């Protein structure tokens, strides 16, 4: 759990939020975001991430706790005085204004002179490669183009903080990937602090400096993408980030960095204890599909092996995806690279699988 520190650019300090006075949507949130950082709030719907964003933007008030921006509490500052740029899920471009008018709007309300305004609008449009579209109406643009305009509008008044609420949700895959790159590039070029909300983990992993995984109104883990993927701190994060195989069992013994786990099928395996503490505790053992090996030659000498029955083999081009039954789990998936020496498994076949103990993490049940 990260704790609030006063040196962050954006700080959530023991923030709680309840809509109905009975249940907390956000429970004791502490978060510190450094200047220039690209932070993603990732989590399933209803996890509280959007509420946090809205509290930061000022559209929701925190029930308890402080939100600080650049060291100053902003709880009582209305949204229009916070100077935070925001990109909305459905772009929220004003349909009755042209693209240029949309961009000029934040400058107008800031009483910036006409010539200055025009220059800034032009620069912002060029920045998102939409210089030729100033005279169009939003409805005349494609989804990707609207997205660029929304981005330009959020940046045109040069805010230090930009919030993005699932901005790429409505785009198709290719465009989305392209925009992910564009957004990160711009954010880093301009050095703005970005808080990005998404439920798409790929997006989170590819774009962010840090990812805060939300569930049940709490941050489950705050970490850089690689750490999040490779070292999930609990079984929710392990499940939520990337593909993951779980085997249920009980802790038999913990010795330093190794734990012995008795699986429900009776086998005993070695795992790395993460948030388990004592023998007898229920645990979920998590193994990434690409870390499972069935080629005996490649298995570590002392690797522990389990018997597995092949249920399904799927050819996916660059990789093979094979579904197995392991220790009573029918959904045990392994991924193998399509290499010349890779064997293709056939359903019905029985094989031996194994992995390195450090890839096998014993997490909370």
Per DSSP, the residues of 288-354 read: -GGG-B--TTTS-TT-EEEEEEEEEEEE-SSEEEEEEEETTEEEEEEEEE--TTPPPP-TT-EEEEE
Binding mask of the shown chain, residues 161 to 200, with x at each position contacting other proteins by CB under 8 A? --x-------------------------------------
* Position 109 contacts other proteins (CB under 8 A): yes
- Cα separation of 103 and 109, whole Å? 11
Residue 259 binds to other proteins (criterion: CB under 8 A)? no
Residue in 59, 135, 188, 253 binding other proteins, rule: CB under 8 A = 59
Helices and strands, number each (H, E), in the chain: 8, 19
> Which position among 16, 18, 118, 157 is part of the footprint of other proteins (CB under 8 A)?
157
Q: Considering beta carbons, is residue 145 or 244 the nearer one to other proteins?
A: 145
Q: Which of 43, 48, 85, 134 lies at the binding interface for other proteins (CB under 8 A)?
A: 85
- Told to check if 334 binds other proteins by CB under 8 A, we report no
Cα distance between residue 76 and residue 89, in whole Å:
25
Which of 27, 5, 15 minimizes the C-alpha distance to 215? 27
313 is a contact residue toward other proteins (CB under 8 A): no
Check binding of 16 to other proteins (CB under 8 A): no
Give the three-state DSSP class for 106: helix
**Which is closer to other proteins, CB of 59 or CB of 315?**
59
Please, what is the minimum distance in Å from the beta carbon of residue 186 to other proteins?
18
Residue 89, interface with other proteins (CB under 8 A)?
A: yes
Distance (Å, whole) CA 67 – CA 14: 9
Nearer to other proteins by Cβ, of 137 and 321: the residue is: 137
Residue 94 is a binding residue for other proteins (CB under 8 A): yes
Instruction: Take residue 300 and report the two structure tokens written for it.
Output: 């570590």
* Interface with other proteins (CB under 8 A), residue from 27, 28, 36, 88: 88
86 belongs to the binding site for other proteins (CB under 8 A): yes
Question: Closest CB to other proteins among 53 and 247?
Answer: 53
Q: Which of 106, 167, 225, 249 binds other proteins (CB under 8 A)?
A: 106
CA distance linking residue 309 with residue 248, whole number of Å? 18
Please name which of 234, 260, 235, 263 lies closest in space to residue 247, comparing C-alpha atoms. 263
CA distances from 38 to 9, 33, 161, 186, 225 (A): 12, 8, 10, 11, 11
Binding site for other proteins (CB under 8 A): 57-59, 78-86, 88-90, 92-96, 105-106, 109-110, 153-154, 157, 163
């Amino acid at each position: 759990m990260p704790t609030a520190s006063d040196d962050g650019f954006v700080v959530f300090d023991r923030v709680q939020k309840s809509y109905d006075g009975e249940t907390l949507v956000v429970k004791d949130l502490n978060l510190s975001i450094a200047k220039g950082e690209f932070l993603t709030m990732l989590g399933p719907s209803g996890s509280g991430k959007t509420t946090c964003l809205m509290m930061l933007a000022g559209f929701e008030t925190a029930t308890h706790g402080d939100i600080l921006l650049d060291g100053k509490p902003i709880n009582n500052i209305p949204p229009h005085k916070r100077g935070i740029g925001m990109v909305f899920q459905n772009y929220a471009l004003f349909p009755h204004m042209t693209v240029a008018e949309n961009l000029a709007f934040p400058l107008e309300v800031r009483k910036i002179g006409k010539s200055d305004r025009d220059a800034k609008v032009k620069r912002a449009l060029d920045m998102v490669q939409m210089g030729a579209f100033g005279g169009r109406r939003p409805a005349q643009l494609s989804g990707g183009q609207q997205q660029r305009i929304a981005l330009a509008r959020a940046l045109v008044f040069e805010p230090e903080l930009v919030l993005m609420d699932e901005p790429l949700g409505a785009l198709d895959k290719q465009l989305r990937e392209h925009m992910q790159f564009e957004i990160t590039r711009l954010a880093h070029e301009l050095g703005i602090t970005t808080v990005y909300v998404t439920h798409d983990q790929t997006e989170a992993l590819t774009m962010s400096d840090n990812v805060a995984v939300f569930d049940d109104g709490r941050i489950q883990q705050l970490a850089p993408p690689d750490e999040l993927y490779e070292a999930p701190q609990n079984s929710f994060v392990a499940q939520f980030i990337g593909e993951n195989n779980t085997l249920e069992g009980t802790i038999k013994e913990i010795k330093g960095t190794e734990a012995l786990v008795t699986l429900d099928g009776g086998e005993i395996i070695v795992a790395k204890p993460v948030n388990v503490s004592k023998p007898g505790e229920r645990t979920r053992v998590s193994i990434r599909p690409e870390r499972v090996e069935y080629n005996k030659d490649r298995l570590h000498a002392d690797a522990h092996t389990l018997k597995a029955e092949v249920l399904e083999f799927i050819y996916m081009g660059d990789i093979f995806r094979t579904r197995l039954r392991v220790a009573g789990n029918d959904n045990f998936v392994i991924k193998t690279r399509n290499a010349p020496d890779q064997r293709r498994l056939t359903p019905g076949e029985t094989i031996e699988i194994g992995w390195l103990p450090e890839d096998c993490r014993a997490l909370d049940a």
